[in-house]
Structure formats: C-alpha cells, structure tokens
Amino acid sequence: MSERDGFPAGGFPAVRMRRNRRTGWLRRMVAENVLTPSDFIWPCFAIEGTNVCEPVVSMPGVERLSIDLLIKSARHARDLGIPCIAIFPVTPDHLKTPDGAEATNPDNLVCRAVSAVKDAVPDLGILCDVALDPFNSDGHDGIVRDGVIVNDETVDILCRQAMVQAAAGCDIIGPSDMMDGRVAAIRQALDAGGYQDMAIMSYAAKYASAFYGPFRDAVGSSGALKGDKKTYQMDPANTDEALREVALDLAEGADMVMIKPGLPYLDIIRRVKERFAAPTFAYHVSGEYAMIKAADANGWIDGDRAMYEALIALKRAGADGILTYAAIDLAEKMVADGVSSVRR
C-alpha cells in the first residue's frame, strides 16, 4: 500500500483489519453507523370500525387498524422511542370519487385518526400523506381529465387536503403526489392559514416503481388504478433529475426531503445528502419489506438480519431517518436487547 490519500504506507502483518472485529463490544465501539428507534417513522393504516384488525396479506406482520386499536399501537410506538408515525387511510370505496373530494373532508378517516391519536399520545409526531390516490376512484395521485393527470387543478385540492390535516393536528405534511409546484402552494396555504410552524417533508424524489404494490393493496387503491404513474413520478433511469426535484422542493419551502423507494436508490440518497445537507429521509417501501418477509417465510434468508442490513444500508447511504413497516418489530428487539441499536 502506497502512502496517498491519507493512508500510511505499510500493511500486513502490522496492519490487521480483523483486530477491530474480534468481539461484539469492539464491533459496536467502532461502528460507523447505528440504528436506534429514533431513526424510524412507522407507517400504519387506519380503517373504519371498532376493534378491527385486518392483516395485509401481501405485507406479513402489517395490519389495518381501527382508530381505537391504532391509538394503542401509537402509544406502544411512542414507548419504544419511535418519534413519529405516518397514518394512511383505507377509504371506503363508496367515498372514492373522480375529484377525490373526500381528501378535503375535515371529518374524513385520516383526520379523525390523527385527532384521536394526537389527543391520546400528544408527544408522538404524526406525518400525513398529501396525495389523492386513497380518495380517487381512478387510483391516481391527482385528478384525471381525458386520461391526463392534471397538475394545477390537483395542486389546488392538495392545498385544501393539507389544511384539513393541519387542523386535525398532524405535525408534518408529506406531499407525495409529485405535482409540479405543490410544495410552494402548500407552504403558502399553511402560512396564510396560521400554520407557519407546520413542517413539510416532501416526497421530493419519488420514482415510478414496481415496489409499491403491497401498499396499494393495503389502502385499497390497486384495483382502482388505471394505467400507470410514469407521467408524474420519476423515471428509475434518472439521477440528475432527482437533484433538480430536491432543489426545487427545498427552494419552495420543504423542511425535509424523502427519497422513495429506498434500497434501489441508495445512490440518490447519497447524492442528495452530499449536495444539499438537508434532513433526508428514505422510505423502505412495501415491496422491499414484503420481499424480505416472503424470503424469510420460505426459509431462504434470516429475515431479522436481512431487515437490519437493508435499513442500515439506508442509514449508511446518508438517510437521517427511515420510514419502515419493520419499525415496531425492530424497536422491540432493541429494547429487549437493552441497547439502543441492533447489532449482529
């Protein structure tokens, strides 16, 4: 080894890289990245009814919960040290319309869930998704006119959606729709409505991905979706475009940005964090989660270790936090181990 780039000349046997790997305590001491419950945002699904718990078949371990049960799970998440949850509604089919009007109803399912959880667990953060796909009979994130997802009309509705969520008590607005100009419009609407301190976590680089299928099953939008989302979500081939999207969202008032999905886009996470040094989050999406769970169920991999490895990769790439359906399970293991991180 030559002396360059700060590395000294010399090598084996004076240098033995395995020395720092000999024991668990030593590996922990020199670890460059650590996962703790504070790194997680737990995405959960709210459903109508009382004492209702419906498993999501395509996402083993994930359930749709009525508000009363969601409150109990939210309290458990808080007690585990998870700082924030994201609530997604399973909107009844009869309330889904082409204009997604239910999204702006201050008494809709997500608003009632947010209010109830906030009243019961006030010191737990709540992230609300702003997009029309749970409310739109076409299954799209925006309004569809003659087969086209229209931008500006959708943005107007998203602003009203954000306002009812803010009034319900959410702490972070998360525009996931990928309409142009929506962050600026939502920021202006929130400020004008007296919500100057409401944070925005924009889904700034959201790709048109094949990994979203189980999520659409969970919220009941997969059967409604007509066509695809390639005209507004990003092309998986592009990376420079992601930097432009992030730059625009930050300039328009986003406080935090998200890359979605996670593992297939580690390069995007790294580029965004290095370029902007802004709070950067990764969404370990439903398909990523489901693949690990399915392989574990078939005995092909150790699911716990694989899940940890996937999430620490997101952290290592530069993510400050991770939205993951494994948040509760991993946090429980961390607490049971009596340490603030999972190490294998």
Cis-peptide, bond into residue 261, ω within 30° of zero: yes
DSSP 33-72: ----GGGEEEEEEEESSSS-EEE-TTSTT-EEEEHHHHHH
Comparing C-alpha atoms, which of 281, 291, 277 is closest to residue 315? Answer: 281
Residue 142: the pLDDT is 94
Pairing mode, if any, of strands 53-55 and 148-149?
Answer: unpaired
Residue 72: the pLDDT is 98
User: In total, how many domains does the chain have?
Assistant: 1
pLDDT digits (tens, 9 = 90+) for 274-311: 999 999 999 999 999 999 999 999 999 999 999 999 99
Cα–Cα dist 343/337, whole Å: 10
pLDDT digits (tens, 9 = 90+) for 46-61: 999 999 999 999 999 9
pLDDT digits (tens, 9 = 90+) for 228-280: 999 999 999 999 999 999 999 999 999 999 999 999 999 999 999 999 999 99
| Owning domain of residue 284 | 33-337
pLDDT band of 331, cuts 50, 70, 90: very high
Residue 288: the pLDDT is 97
Does residue 273 belong to any structural domain of this protein? yes
Q: Is 118 a catalytic residue?
A: no
Cα–Cα dist 114/37, whole Å: 21
The helix/strand/coil state of 252 is helix
The helix/strand/coil state of 273 is helix
Residue 325: the pLDDT is 97
Read off the pLDDT of each residue in 112-118 and give the average, rounded to a whole number: 98
Percent over 70 (pLDDT), the chain: 95
DSSP structure class, residue 84? E
Comparing C-alpha atoms, which of 61, 117, 64 is closest to residue 326? Answer: 61
Q: 61: how many CB neighbours lie within 10 A of its CB? A: 14
Does residue 13 belong to any structural domain of this protein? no
pLDDT band of 341, cuts 50, 70, 90: very low
Read off the pLDDT of each residue in 19-25 and give the average, rounded to a whole number: 93
Residue 339 has pLDDT above 90, yes or no: no
Q: Is 206 a catalytic residue?
A: yes
Residue 5: the pLDDT is 63
* Pairs from 221-227 (Cβ < 8 Å, separation ≥ 24): 221/133, 221/134, 221/136, 221/139, 222/139, 223/139, 224/96, 224/136, 224/137, 224/138, 224/139, 225/133, 225/138, 225/139, 225/140, 226/138, 226/139, 226/140, 226/144, 227/140, 227/147
Catalytic residue among 96, 118, 229, 260: 260
Does residue 315 belong to any structural domain of this protein? yes
Residue 343: the pLDDT is 45
**Residue 244 is part of a domain; what is its CATH number?**
3.20.20.70
Structure tokens at 132: 């029309």
Does residue 220 belong to any structural domain of this protein? yes
Does residue 155 belong to any structural domain of this protein? yes
pLDDT digits (tens, 9 = 90+) for 170-185: 999 999 999 999 999 9
Does residue 276 belong to any structural domain of this protein? yes
Comparing C-alpha atoms, which of 340, 269, 259, 325 is closest to residue 42? Answer: 325
pLDDT mean across residues, the chain: 94
Residue 8: the pLDDT is 65
Contact 238, 292 (CB under 8 A): no
Any bridge partners for residue 207, and if so which?
Answer: 234
Structure tokens at 180: 């142009």
Does residue 5 belong to any structural domain of this protein? no
Residue 70 has pLDDT above 90, yes or no: yes
Contact 54, 64 (CB under 8 A): yes
pLDDT band of 225, cuts 50, 70, 90: confident
Catalytic residue among 206, 273, 293, 315: 206
Does residue 19 belong to any structural domain of this protein? no
pLDDT digits (tens, 9 = 90+) for 205-220: 999 999 999 998 898 8
